[in-house]
Amino acid sequence: MNDLNAAFLKPQSMPDVQSTRDERALAIEQVGIRGVRHPLTVRSKAGSFPSVGTFEMNVALPAHVKGTHMSRFIALLQKQEAAVDSTTAVTLVREMLPLLNATEGSVQFTYIHFVKKSAPVSGVESLMDYEVTWTAQARQNVSGTLETQLHLRAVVPVMSLCPCSKEISEFGAHNQRSHVTMSVVLDPQTKMTVEDLVSAAESEASSELWGLLKRPDEKWVTEHSYSNPKFVEDLVRDVAGRLQQDQRIQSLVVEAENFESIHNHSAYAKISLTK
């Protein structure tokens, strides 16, 4: 018996309603906790940094079981002290299933990932922030082996300049900030960093973004984006094509949303691919 299970043993005099049998014959696909905020130390290519994660943890509940052990999700989360990376969600879900007496479940956490970037001309350093979600799903097959799948999602803000506006205008072209959202499925043994995914989107945009730019940098961004116009269709295709070539990725979904500067609506495109 592990320490966490032992810690939740109740005195015989206290009834355990949660462990009683349910007679409604309805299995529950997911039951657990969500919206739990917890401090994190995130491991990145540039070193570790503090952040706050929002967690969702759930298991499948058999039809005959009345309820799951909700407090054990929190207890497992409280144990985590090491810096998180691509292996954290997988480790958590593998520890969670036996703790909850479950054969299927998932762990997901979302946080803000910071990357220190140097401006293109001046070299001045600043932080860029990206919303990142790691999800691990695990299921015990008929032979008792635990099958695990790892998902990584990142929202990357970039700049896009309209090719049509450039073509029809005597000077200038309208541009806008865009969000590229990439969701990829990875082998749990694969080592893929958030920075790997971020660079795939930034390299295919009209221009990447920086937290701090000097005047020479602003000139560079303006001219670079003007020479690299992209429709939302171009953006989503180019990012999906780059990710499709990455052997670490099993399947992918790429979405691009342009927050139009000349309209009060967005332009949107999406591609889903399975290798």
Q: What is the CATH number for 85?
A: 3.10.270.10
Tell whether 238 is covered by a domain.
Answer: yes
Q: Give me 113's structure tokens.
A: 């990932």
Lowest mean pLDDT among 1-15, 29-43, 89-103, 168-182: 1-15
Tell whether 232 is covered by a domain.
Answer: yes
Tell whether 157 is covered by a domain.
Answer: yes
Tell whether 5 is covered by a domain.
Answer: no
3-state DSSP assignment of residue 66: coil
pLDDT of residue 9: 57
Nearest to 240 by CA among 181, 175, 176: 181
Tell whether 4 is covered by a domain.
Answer: no
pLDDT of residue 5: 61
Tell whether 8 is covered by a domain.
Answer: no
Q: Which domain holds residue 138?
A: 16-274
Output b/e per residue, 35-73; b: 16+ Cβ within 10 A.
eeeeebebbbeeeebebebebbbbbbbeeebeebbeebb
User: DSSP state, 124?
Assistant: -
Tell whether 110 is covered by a domain.
Answer: yes
Task: State the distance between the two ends of the chain, measured CA to CA, in whole angstroms.
Answer: 42
Tell whether 1 is covered by a domain.
Answer: no
Nearest to 157 by CA among 92, 201, 127: 201
Alpha carbon distance 115, 129 (integer Å): 7
Threshold 0.85, pTM exceeds: yes
Average pLDDT for residues 223-241, to the nearest whole number? Answer: 97
197 pLDDT tier (thresholds 50, 70, 90):
very high
Alpha carbon distance 250, 256 (integer Å): 20
Residue 76 has pLDDT above 60, yes or no: yes
How many domains does one find in the chain? Answer: 1
Average pLDDT for residues 161-166, to the nearest whole number? Answer: 95
